[in-house]
Structure 1
């Protein structure tokens, strides 16, 4: 699945149940497909640099970011969501904050 479509489906999943518990959200098929699509598209992996300001990125910034900036942003977002105790709900927050919707539109 292409990354923009996977991001759109993940945002749609969030909108269907905006009060979802974080653990339940990460167990959805849409979440898994999003992670897989990001990996397949090369938007995450050991060679991708981190975005130290990822948690401050607005939907407007994401909407106008270059592909390389999006790569760093998304890599850091996924890494924080999966492995960082300071931001264990980073992807869920990006859905609710509009950043993932902006990412899908930017990539489309």
Structure 2
């Protein structure tokens, strides 16, 4: 990760990521419609203090995919959601629970 970061200035890296995540999301509308139509459960875990990917990107996704669960982690930035998961933020456990619940829902007869 460090090697890749040194190839960019902060300014270029931030704009590249912002364009990929936020700009690319707008190009995914058709895919999001297919996910919604198929009833595939989606959960987004986003650091409330994220300066890399603005919270607005997750809110845009929620607008396009109303059934998505958006979980804002207070006091977390872009890295702490993942890297401090073992220290009380519960990131991995939330994912396990979501996947388990999703798997059980898909097995239930309609």
| TM-score, normalized by the shorter chain, greater than 0.5 | no
Q: Which structure has the greater CA radius of gyration?
A: 2
Q: Larger relative contact order (C-alpha < 8 A, sep ≥ 6)?
A: 1
Q: In which range does the TM-score fall when normalised by the shorter chain?
A: under 0.3
Q: Give the alignment's TM-score, normalised by structure 2.
A: 0.25
Q: Is the helix fraction higher in 1 or 2? A: 1
